[in-house]
């Protein structure tokens, strides 16, 4: 770790979470022209290609591991979590999906307790209780308000928590090795998804895009915008883990953890600017409860 600086750690974490939301926004829009599986292929394929090129130039660590089963579990959980997150943003507001993805901080202590009997201080369980009340509010229980796709977003948060738990079992495995297995195994999972769905690349649905150009300009403007969106998605897929790594160079996971919730605020702004979706009162209350509960968990864990 470099010279400690919570401010720099917070800035890099906020930028990393901004990139996460921007990627989800691109997927939400571009999924009307490309399938979610194809967009995942672009993200993972670009990341693996750049990683391999960089590794061949540096060869800092060996990629061989005796923990291949845990490494594969990390990759599968990460890939599945992102896929479910991207699937959910097509049907529910970006803010709600992002908020439910960030429930990973609430699920992680529960998983540690179930699988390792790790005891947590009472303040952690208080934070979990508050956070899960917020989750119930965001899920809108009741026959008229319930959103089934919200459960898909919640599942992405659970899978991300499982990834965090499995990462804790890797001990001193180098980050480069874990990154390689996450990208390589994840790419294999995505290819299986594509094969299972017949390698779909959907035709753009003009009426569902952010804009509807005239008939003559539709192929030029929309197709070009879709291609540009896919390229930007690939670039951002490399930028986000880099920003996250930089944040951890200056501060610990516990110190920067609360700043991950800035993603939810950014998602709410994007919902309002581009999809004209204002956050509901239930969403805001759920955000406050989940954020407060998550910060309690982080604070208690650090103590």
User: Tens of pLDDT along 91-100?
Assistant: 888 888 888 8
**Contact residues for 265 (Cβ-Cβ < 8 A; gap 6+):** none
Task: Tell which residue, 102, 105, 99, 107, has the closest CA to residue 138.
Answer: 99
Mean pLDDT over 35-60 rounds to 81
pLDDT digits (tens, 9 = 90+) for 113-154: 778 777 767 777 787 777 778 777 776 654 444 567 888 888
Q: Which of 10-14, 28-32, 106-110, 247-251 shows the lowest mean pLDDT across its residues?
A: 247-251
pLDDT at 114: 79
User: Within 10 Å of residue 142's Cβ, how many Cβ atoms?
Assistant: 7
Asked if 39 and 31 count as a contact pair (C-beta separation under 8 A), the reply is yes
Distances (CA, A) of 275 to 11, 93, 177, 237, 272: 27, 9, 39, 23, 6
Q: Is 110 helix (H, G, I), strand (E, B) or coil?
A: helix
Average pLDDT (232-259) is 69
Residue 204 is predicted with a pLDDT of 47
Per mean pLDDT, which range of 154-163, 219-228, 236-245, 268-277 is the poorest? 219-228
User: pTM, whole model, 2 decimals?
Assistant: 0.76
Range 278-303 average pLDDT: 73
91-94-96-101 Cα dihedral, nearest 10 degrees: 100
Per-residue model confidence (pLDDT) at position 38: 79
Is a pLDDT exceeding 50 seen at residue 71? yes
Angle formed by the axes of helices 6-30 and 218-250, to 10°? 160
pLDDT exceeds cutoff 50 at 174: yes
For 34, the token pair is 């490309």
Handedness of CA 201, 87, 25, 148 (dihedral sign): positive
Token code pair at residue 52: 């391999």
Average the pLDDT over each of 124-133, 176-185, 214-223 and give the range with the smallest value.
214-223
Query: What mean pLDDT, rounded, does the chain reach?
Result: 76
Closest CA relative to residue 133, chosen from 160, 163, 112, 106: 106
Average pLDDT over residues 2-9: 68
Which range is most confident: 107-111, 129-133, 160-164? Answer: 160-164
pLDDT at 243 over 50: yes
Q: For residue 210, is pLDDT > 70? A: no
At residue 215, the pLDDT reads: 46
* 286 and 92 Cβ atoms separated by less than 8 Å: no
Kindly list the distances between the CA atom of residue 284 and the CA atoms of 48, 127, 132, in Å, as whole numbers in the listed order.
37, 18, 14
pLDDT reading at 159 higher than 90: yes
Instruction: Grade residue 73 by pLDDT with cuts at 50, 70 and 90.
Output: very high
- What pLDDT is recorded for position 40? 83
More confident call, 76 vs 263: 76
Residue 291 three-state SS: helix
């Amino acid at each position: 770790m470099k010279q400690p600086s919570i401010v720099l750690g917070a800035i890099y974490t906020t930028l990393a979470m901004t990139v996460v939301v921007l990627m989800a926004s691109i997927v939400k829009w571009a999924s009307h022209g490309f399938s979610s599986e194809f967009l995942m292929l672009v993200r993972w394929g670009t990341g693996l290609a750049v990683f391999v090129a960089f590794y061949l130039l540096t060869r800092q660590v060996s990629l061989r591991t005796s923990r291949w089963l845990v490494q594969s579990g990390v990759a599968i959980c990460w890939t599945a979590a992102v896929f479910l997150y991207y699937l959910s943003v097509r049907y529910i507001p970006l803010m709600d999906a992002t908020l439910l993805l960030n429930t990973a901080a609430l699920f992680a202590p529960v998983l540690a307790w179930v699988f390792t009997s790790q005891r947590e201080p009472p303040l952690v369980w208080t934070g979990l209780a508050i956070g899960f009340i917020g989750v119930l509010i965001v899920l809108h229980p009741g026959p008229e308000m319930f959103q089934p796709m919200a459960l898909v977003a919640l599942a992405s948060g659970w899978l991300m928590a499982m990834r965090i738990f499995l990462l804790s079992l890797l001990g001193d495995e180098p980050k480069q090795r874990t990154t390689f297995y996450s990208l390589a195994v994840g790419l294999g999972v995505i290819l299986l998804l594509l094969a299972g769905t017949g390698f779909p690349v959907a035709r753009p649905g003009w009426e569902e895009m952010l804009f509807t150009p005239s008939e003559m300009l539709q192929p030029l403007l929309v197709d070009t915008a879709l291609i540009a969106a896919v390229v930007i998605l690939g670039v951002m897929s490399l930028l986000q883990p880099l920003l996250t790594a930089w944040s951890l160079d200056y501060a610990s996971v516990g110190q920067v953890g609360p700043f991950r919730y800035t993603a939810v605020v950014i998602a709410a702004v994007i919902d309002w600017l581009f999809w004209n979706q204002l956050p509901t009162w239930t969403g805001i209350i759920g955000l406050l409860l989940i954020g407060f509960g998550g910060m309690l968990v982080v604070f208690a864990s650090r103590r």
